[in-house]
C-alpha cells in the first residue's frame, strides 16, 4: 500500500536565471507535494524547465524564492555541506547528460557513490547492479568506450547503487531502444513498488507515462496535473 508520507513539498517556488543582467523567469510560484512511494512523470516541451525543476528538488540548485522540503528538511535553509550530505545519502540522480566520470572505469564510477558515504561496494553488489541494467561486460571499460545508451544504463546503475529513497531521472531512457527502455523502466517500477522508493522522471517519452502514478505537465512556468485513470 502506498504511504501517504510527504517526500517532497514545494512551496511557492519560483526560479529566474540572470543572463547579461537580464532576468528570465522559468518557474512561477509552484506548489506541489510528492508522496513517498510515488512515480511522478514530468512532461513539457524542450526548454519548459523540467531539468531546472529536478535540480531544485534535488537541492542541486536553489530557487529564487519559495521553499522546498525534502524528507522533512527545508533544503533552502541547509548549508551547502548539509545539502551535499543529504543528497549523498538519500538521493539518486540520473542526469540527462549522464555525468559519468571519464577518468574512472565503470566499476570505479559505481563504487564512488558508496565511498562518498563511507561504504565499500562488494564485488557482488556491483555485479548485480550491472546485470540489472544488462551491462555485465562493462566492468573495466571507461565511459568513452561505451555507446550513449550504454553510458545511460551505467548512469542509472550509479544513481541507484547506494539505495537512495528518492530518485530523480532526467530523460533516463532518451538514448535507449524501445525494448531496453521497457526493461529498464519495468525494473525501476519494481524498485519503486517493492522498496517504497520515490521517483520523479522528466521525459519527452510517452511510454514512461504508463508507469506513473501521476503525470505533471510543465507549461509556461506552471505545473498542471493530468488525471491518470
Contacts with ligand ATP by CB under 6 A lie at 17, 19, 26, 44, 46-52, 96
State the Rg of the chain over Cα: 17
**Residue 51 touches Mg ion, criterion: CB under 5 A:** yes
Binders of Mg ion among 78-97, rule CB under 5 A? 96
User: Least CB distance from residue 206 to Mg ion, whole Å?
Assistant: 17
Nearer to ligand ATP, 45 or 140 (CB): 45
Q: Please classify residue 23 by burial: count the beta carbons closer than 10 Å to its beta carbon, then call 0-12 exposed, 13-18 middle and 19+ buried.
A: exposed
C-alpha cell at 202: 522528466
User: Least CB distance from residue 18 to ligand ATP, whole Å?
Assistant: 8
**Residue 41 touches Mg ion, criterion: CB under 5 A:** no
User: Grid cell 577518468 — which residue?
Assistant: 103
User: Contact, 37 vs 3, CB < 8 A?
Assistant: yes
Question: Distance between CA atoms of 29 and 15, rounded to whole angstroms?
Answer: 8
Contact partner, 59, from ligand ATP, Mg ion, none, Cβ < 5-8 Å per class: none
Sheet holding 39-43, edge to edge: 91-94, 166-170, 198-202, 39-43, 214-219, 222-226
**Residue 48 touches Mg ion, criterion: CB under 5 A:** no
User: Least CB distance from residue 96 to ligand ATP, whole Å?
Assistant: 6
Q: Which residue, judged by CB position, is nearest to Mg ion in the bound state? A: 51
User: Least CB distance from residue 29 to ligand ATP, whole Å?
Assistant: 16
Contact partner, 129, from Mg ion, ligand ATP, none, Cβ < 5-8 Å per class: none
User: Least CB distance from residue 171 to ligand ATP, whole Å?
Assistant: 6
Amino acid at each position: 500500500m502506498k504511504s501517504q508520507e510527504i517526500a517532497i513539498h514545494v512551496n511557492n517556488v519560483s526560479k529566474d536565471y540572470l543572463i547579461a543582467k537580464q532576468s528570465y523567469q522559468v518557474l512561477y510560484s509552484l506548489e506541489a507535494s510528492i508522496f513517498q512511494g510515488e512515480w511522478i512523470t514530468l512532461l513539457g516541451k524542450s526548454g519548459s524547465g523540467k531539468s531546472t525543476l529536478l535540480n531544485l528538488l534535488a537541492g542541486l540548485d536553489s530557487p529564487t524564492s519559495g521553499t522546498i522540503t525534502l524528507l522533512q528538511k527545508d533544503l533552502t535553509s541547509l548549508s551547502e555541506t548539509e545539502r551535499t550530505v543529504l543528497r549523498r545519502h538519500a538521493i539518486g540522480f540520473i542526469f540527462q547528460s549522464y555525468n559519468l566520470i571519464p577518468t574512472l572505469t565503470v566499476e570505479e564510477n559505481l563504487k564512488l557513490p558508496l565511498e562518498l558515504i563511507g561504504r565499500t561496494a562488494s564485488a557482488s553488489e556491483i555485479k548485480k547492479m550491472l546485470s540489472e541494467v544488462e551491462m555485465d561486460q562493462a566492468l573495466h571499460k571507461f565511459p568513452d568506450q561505451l555507446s550513449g545508451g550504454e553510458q545511460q544504463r551505467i548512469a542509472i546503475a550509479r544513481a541507484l547503487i547506494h539505495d537512495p529513497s528518492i530518485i530523480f531521472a532526467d530523460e533516463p531512457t532518451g538514448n535507449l531502444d524501445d525494448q531496453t527502455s521497457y526493461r529498464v523502466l519495468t525494473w525501476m517500477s519494481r524498485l519503486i513498488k517493492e522498496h517504497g522508493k520515490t521517483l520523479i522522471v522528466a521525459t519527452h517519452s510517452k511510454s514512461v507515462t504508463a508507469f506513473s502514478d501521476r503525470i505533471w505537465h510543465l507549461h509556461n512556468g506552471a505545473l498542471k496535473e493530468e488525471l491518470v485513470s
